[in-house]
Amino acid sequence: MNLNQIAELVDTAALDANEIPQLSQAGSELTLEQAYEVQALSLKRRYERGEVPLGIKMGFTSRAKMVQMGLDEMIWGRLTDKMLIEDGGEIDLEDYVHPRVEPEIAFLMKRDLSGKVSPLQALEAVEAIAPAIEIIDSRYKAFKFNLPDVVADNTSSSSLVVGQWARPDMEISNLGMVMEFDGKTVEIGSSAAILGHPVRALAGASALLAEQGLALKAGWILMAGGATAAVPLMPGINVRLSVQNLGRVNFSVKAAQV
């Protein structure tokens, strides 16, 4: 398969919520560079269907995530408007393959940002900060992949839920984060788990995008990456994330059909 055909394969799998074999095990061993090309080509298909770029999500910015997935290099994926679920909204598991949730921090960009920047310079480009839940959904069987596989699959991007935006001058280096299913704690972490400070994920995104001649755009959202391991969703639950000083965000999963 050429890169365009692979892009069609991963895009269709995401669109139809169908699982596919890992590319690397099905005769398509990609380089990381080719994987980002596939990601761009597959997102082009989404834009052609009317989706609009919403921002960027970072992957593997915490030890917990790296350990869970057995990978240790920071990667990124593209977010579109169609992926955004409103705070308090509901999702249907039928629209996903095997979704998992992660507690994250979201940045709203005030201006464009690109290239190697210091954490301080990165923060100066931020309009607001919010608690956010990412719903990741690898299209690969058993949620297993190598680095090029996952990058080609848009870094498992599927949905995101963003809470209320807070002022950007808020201290966010070490905020407690509690994720609950129906009021029961499933993960506890700290914003410090994200590269020591979530703004480093923003600076990392800026540097990685610049390698491909790209930039973060004013008005975009940047998801800093999961602070803890990701947890599989179940039918009928309410998922809530509380971030110290920043507030809460939640969504529900539709109950199973009987």
Chain residues that interact with Mg ion, rule: CB under 5 A: 102, 134, 226
Phi, psi dihedrals of residue 41, rounded to the nearest 5°: -65, -35
189 is a site residue for ligand OOG (CB under 6 A): no
Q: Give backbone dihedrals phi and psi of 148, rounded to 5 degrees, phi first.
A: -60, -35
Is 60 near ligand OOG (CB under 6 A)?
yes
Q: Which is nearer to ligand OOG, 80 or 156 (CB)?
A: 156
151 binds ligand OOG (CB under 6 A): no
136 binds ligand OOG (CB under 6 A): yes
Report, in Å, the least distance between residue 193 CB and ligand OOG.
11
Least distance from C-beta 65 to ligand OOG, angstroms? 4
- 143: number of Cβ within 10 Å: 20
Contact criterion met (CB below 8 Å) for 178 and 242: yes
For ligand OOG, give the closer residue by CB, 126 or 136. 136
The interface partner of residue 150, options being Mg ion, ligand OOG, none and the CB cut-off 5 to 8 Å by kind, is ligand OOG
Taking the complex as a whole, the smallest distance from the CB of residue 134 to ligand OOG amounts, in Å, to 6
Per partner kind, with CB cut-offs from 5 to 8 A, the member of Mg ion, ligand OOG, none near residue 46 is none
Q: Which does 60 bind (CB under 5 to 8 A by kind): ligand OOG, Mg ion, none?
A: ligand OOG
User: What is the β-pairing status of strands 84-85 and 184-190?
Assistant: unpaired
Residue 187 binding ligand OOG, by CB under 6 A: no
Q: Which of 195, 225, 241, 249 binds ligand OOG (CB under 6 A)?
A: 225
Judged by CB under 6 A, which of 43, 130, 147, 150 binds ligand OOG? Answer: 150
CB-CB contact of 204 with 214 (8 Å): no
Q: Which is nearer to ligand OOG, 4 or 95 (CB)?
A: 95
Looking only at the bridges linking them, the beta strands covering 176-181 and 157-162 are unpaired
Residues 65-124 that bind ligand OOG (CB under 6 A): 65, 69, 102
Q: Which is nearer to ligand OOG, 71 or 121 (CB)?
A: 71
In the complex, minimum distance from the CB of residue 246 to Mg ion, in angstroms, rounded to a whole number: 17
Which does residue 204 bind out of ligand OOG, Mg ion, none, counting CB within 5 to 8 angstroms by kind?
none
- Helix 3-16 vs helix 32-48: angle between axes, to the nearest 10 degrees? 60
